[in-house]
Amino acid sequence: MQSNYLYKSLVTGLFLLFLLPACKKSNNPPPGRQPGNNTGASINDSIFFIAKDIYLWYDALPDSATFKPNSFSTTGDMFKALMSYKKNSNNQPLDRYSFLDNGGTSRALQQGVAGDVGFEVGFQTATELRVVYVYPGSPADKAGIKRGWQLTAVNGVTSFKSDQATNDLLNNALGGGGSNTFSFRKADGSTQENVLTATDYKLNPILYSHLFNFNGNKIGYFVFNNFVALADVKTQIDSIFGAFATAGVKQVIIDLRYNGGGLIETAEYLANKLVPAAKTNTEMYSQYFNNNVYNNKYSRYFTNMKAVPWFPTANWSDIFYSEATTYKMAKFQKDGALALDKLNFLVTGNTVSASELLYNVLKPVMTTKLVGSTTYGKPVGFINITFGNYDMYAVNFQTKNSAGEGDYFSGLPVQVSAQDDYTTDWGNLSDPLLRASLVDMGVPVSSLGRTARVVNSEMVRTPANRLAATHFKGMIQTIKQ
């Protein structure tokens, strides 16, 4: 589903538990973006009128005289107010997705560079923080920090609760500048202290992979944390799937429980690895824009806006029209020898957009299940446009699978329910989500040992802490030269 203009890259919310400080939203992003070319218009005016052209729910927006885009003190305030007009059936704002940023999102996902200490935490109970994941190659990984360890102190602070003070402390320590001191309690009860400094490192989203063999029942498992550019992860994906195919694996578990998404080319690549060969050249998914885009009808702001710096001779309006009318459907193209009888995805409310898309496109064509808890719910995406120091991500399109399914704004329901737990490392058979999936695939409970400690009554979930509030949620189409 590639056009001459566009590099299909649905970036889906690096949501809860994926700390990329550069992706934080800001009402006043710092300088450094390529200058926009909306000559003679204020940033607020340009954003407003172009949103009226390309926003999926453009018909919900007021006119300029009513909204008064230049009456807001900041562009961020204006954009937030504008995106609140689309309502759901309960008359509440539907758009949880659109945002402005300073270019950090594209840097993290398209260039594959993160700039933090490399681990994330979550509240196991109202006062107990645990390491949720660690990125390979990050400062935390080099220090030997593991998922499941308890975080007992940050810069001398030993008491944590889900409030603004703790949020600020964690934000600054995990993603801010300078050196910060972290103390941990390991699974065996021993302790470790590390002084870590945020630094740039190549983002490796494959946190763990393993081939289970239960008396001949071979089950492939890997943890995939976000969809970076395919070039950055293709070799690893090919290696994992090649090993699974060589071993004769017929069942696979893909762990997407904290995956807010990433570039759609990578989601499509995974789909083509997993899909049955017989489904080659059948529909994977279609996307839907608004009537302005389909009719190539825009305001003068958008019609005259060049797609610089990518295509100096192309207008944004041409790009949108081509995408909506010529390249609107993706088709499966089976890749590799893996032939599956069953596929499960491990998911939570922190599984967003491209992760949801991967399941949704495979659902009509093969046997697959969701294990865990209801996903976030984001079947829509963006084409990001630069205005001065801002990248604008306003919802532009919706995706639907070959069965016409794609209205999961409240999330995708699971077929096998299980409560997440932060106390176990990856691949541990007492991990509730992995355990439930293995049982669903026919592994006897007697082969799995004891279950994990899950404190259902105390676990703090979104949106109660900063992990929900500071992470990007989106599905982005970006430009390729």
- The sign of the CA dihedral 39, 41, 44, 49 is negative
Residue 244 lies in a domain: no
Does residue 398 lie within any of the structural domains? no
Q: Is the pLDDT of residue 475 over 90?
A: no
Please compute the mean of the pLDDT values over residues 285-301 and round it to a whole number: 93
Average of pLDDT values for 300-313? 76
Residue 17 resides in a domain: no
Segment 13-28 shows an average pLDDT of: 30
| Residue 306 near residue 315 (C-beta atoms within 8 A) | yes
CB 368 within 8 A of CB 415: no
CA 427 → CA 123, 208, 214, 220, distances in Å? 21, 8, 14, 11
Confidence of residue 137 (pLDDT cuts 50, 70, 90): very high
Asked whether residue 1 carries a pLDDT value surpassing 90, the answer given is no
pLDDT at 464 over 60: no
170, 117 contact by CB (below 8 A): no
Report CA dihedral (246, 250, 251, 255) to the nearest 10 degrees: 30
Q: Is the confidence at residue 360, as pLDDT, over 80?
A: yes
Q: How confident is the model at residue 388 (pLDDT cuts 50, 70, 90)?
A: confident
pTM for this entry: 0.88
Give me the pLDDT at residue 251, please.
98
Name the residue among 17, 13, 10 with its Cα closest to residue 25.
13
Helices (H), 137-190: 139-142, 164-175
In the predicted structure, residue 370 carries a pLDDT above the cut 50: yes
- Average pLDDT of the residues in 307-336: 84
pLDDT (0 to 100) of residue 314: 80
CB crowding 133-152: b at 16 or more within 10 Å, else e: bbbbebbbbebebbbbbbbb
**Structure-block tokens of residue 428:** 């541990």
Arithmetic mean of pLDDT over the chain = 85
Q: What's residue 307's pLDDT?
A: 74
| Predicted local confidence at residue 175, as pLDDT | 85
pLDDT by residue (tens digit) across 82-103? 999 999 999 999 999 999 987 7
b/e 105-132 (16+ beta carbons within 10 angstroms → b): bbbbbbebbbbbbbbbbbbbeeebbbbb
Nearest Cα to Cα of residue 345 among 375, 378, 365: 375
d(CA 420, CA 434): 9
| Residues facing residue 99 across a β-bridge | 393
Whether residue 123 lies inside any domain: the answer is yes
Which of the given ranges, 4-8, 104-108, 382-386, has the highest pLDDT on average?
382-386
Coil, helix or strand for 161? coil
Type of residue numbered 167:
N
Confidence of residue 115 (pLDDT cuts 50, 70, 90): confident
Q: Which helix (H) or strand (E) holds 251?
A: strand 251-255
Domain interval for residue 179: 116-202
d(CA 174, CA 140): 10
Is residue 176 pLDDT above 70, yes or no?
yes
pLDDT higher than threshold 80 for residue 258 = yes
Asked whether residue 179 is domain-assigned, the answer is: yes
Residue 179 is part of a domain; what is its CATH number?
A: 2.30.42.10
High-pLDDT (> 90) share of the chain, %: 67
Residue 107 pLDDT level (bands cut at 50, 70, 90):
low
Question: Between 455 and 278, whose confidence is greater?
Answer: 278
92: in domain: no
Q: How many domains does the structure of the chain reveal?
A: 1
CA dihedral for 81, 86, 90, 94, sign (positive or negative):
negative
Of the chain, the percentage scoring pLDDT greater than 70 comes to: 83
Integer CA distances (angstroms), 31 to 290, 328, 387, 429, in order: 32, 35, 11, 48
Spatial CB neighbours of 319, under 8 Å, sequence gap ≥ 6 = 5, 6, 307, 311, 383, 479
Cβ atoms of 204 and 216 within 8 Å: the answer is no
| Number of residues assigned to the chain | 481
Give pLDDT tens digits for 155-169: 999 999 988 899 999
How far is it, in rounded angstroms, from Cα 19 to Cα 392? 20
Q: Averaged over 473-480, what is the pLDDT?
A: 45
End-to-end CA distance of the chain: 16
Task: Tell me 87's DSSP state.
Answer: B
Question: Residues 395-406: pLDDT tens digits?
Answer: 999 999 999 999
At 394, list the tokens: 């306003």
- Confidence band of 109 (pLDDT split at 50, 70, 90): low
Dig out the tokens for 279 from the structure: 């489904």
Is the per-residue pLDDT at 463 higher than 70? no
Which one is predicted more confidently, 386 or 439? 439
What does DSSP assign to residue 406?
-
Tokens read off for 226: 């976000």
Question: Is the pLDDT reported for residue 281 higher than 50?
Answer: yes
What is the crossing angle of helices 264-274 and 230-246, to 10°? Answer: 10
Question: Helix, strand, coil: what percent of the chain each, to 5?
Answer: 25, 25, 50
Torsion angle of the four alpha carbons 442, 443, 445, 448, in this order, in degrees rounded to the nearest 10: -160
Least confident of 17-21, 144-148, 351-355, 380-384: 17-21
For the record, the structure tokens of 41 come out as: 């218009």
Q: Looking at residue 452, what is its pLDDT?
A: 54
Kindly state the average pLDDT of the residues 423-452: 92
Query: What pLDDT digit, counting tens, does each position of 240-254 carry?
Result: 999 999 999 999 999
Q: Is residue 141 part of a domain?
A: yes
The candidate with the shortest Cα–Cα distance to 275, out of 332, 319, 322, 327, is: 332
Contact in structure between 401 and 366 (CB atoms under 8 Å): no
Of residues 92 and 113, more confidence is placed in 92
Contacts of 216 (CB under 8 A, 6+ apart): none
Q: State how far the Cα of 121 lies from the Cα of 395, in Å rounded to an integer.
A: 29
Tokens 């409240």, residue located: 410
What's the one-letter identity of residue 178? G
Note whether residue 263 is domain-resident: no
User: Is residue 69 pLDDT above 60, yes or no?
Assistant: yes
pLDDT at 181 over 70: yes
